[in-house]
Amino acid sequence: MKIARSLFNGGLVAYTALFFAFIYIPLVVIAVYSFNANPVNMMTWTGFTTEWYAQVLGFKTKVSESALYIESTGQLLQAVWNSLVIAASTTAIATVFGTAIAIALYRFEFVGQRFYRVVMFMPMLMPDIVLGIALLIFFVNSGIKLGLTTIIIGQCTFLISYVFIVVSARLAGMDRTLEHASADLGANEWMTFRRVVLPQLFPAIVGGALLAFIISMDDLVITYFIAGVDVTTLPMFIFSMLRRGIKPEINAIAVMMLTFSFVVASLGLYLRSRQK
Partner 1 sequence: MSIASRRRFQLGLLLGPVSAFLAVFFLGPLAIMVVTSFLAPGLYGGVEWTFYPHNFGRILGFADPMFEEFDPIYIAIFLRSIEIAALTVLATLLVCYPAAFCIARLSERWKNFCLFLITLPFFTSLIVRLFVWVLILRQTGLVNEALLSTGLIERPLDLIYTKGAIILGMTYVFIPFMFMPVYASVEKLDWTLVRASLDLGAGPVRTFWRIILPLTAPGIAGGAVIVFIPALGNFVVPAVLGGAKVMMFGNLIEQQFLAARNWPFGAALAMMVMSVMLVLMIAHVVLSGRRSAAAALAR
Interaction with partner 1 in 187-246: which residues (CB under 8 A)?
A: 189, 211, 214-215, 217-218, 220-221, 225, 234-235, 238-239, 242-243, 246
Which alpha helices (DSSP H) does the chain contain, by range?
2-33, 51-56, 62-65, 73-107, 113-125, 128-141, 148-172, 177-184, 189-192, 198-218, 221-226, 234-244, 248-273
When asked if residue 108 is in the footprint of partner 1 (CB under 8 A), the reply is: yes
CA distance 268 to 254: 21
Per-residue binding letters, 33-72, with partner 1 (x by CB under 8 A): x-------xxxx----------------------------
65 vs 109 by CB, closer to partner 1: 109
Name the DSSP class of 36.
Answer: B
Number of amino acids touching partner 1 (CB under 8 A): 78
- Give the contact letters, 145-184, x = binds to partner 1 (CB under 8 A), - = no: --------xx-xx--x------------------------
| 10-29: contacts with partner 1 (CB under 8 A) | 12-13, 15-16, 19-20, 22-24, 26-27, 29
Rounded-to-integer distance, Cα 215 and Cα 159, Å: 8
Closest separation in Å from C-beta 125 to partner 1: 6
Q: Which one of the spans 48-56, 59-67, 121-129, 166-174 is the region binding partner 1 (CB under 8 A)?
A: 121-129
Q: Is the Cβ–Cβ distance between 101 and 120 less than 8 Å?
A: yes
Alpha-carbon distances, residue 274 vs 3, 22, 192, 253 (angstroms): 41, 28, 22, 32
CA of 219: how far to CAs of 41, 56, 65, 101, 265, in Å?
29, 21, 34, 23, 14
Shortest Å, Cβ 269 to partner 1: 6
Nearer to partner 1, 206 or 257 (CB): 257
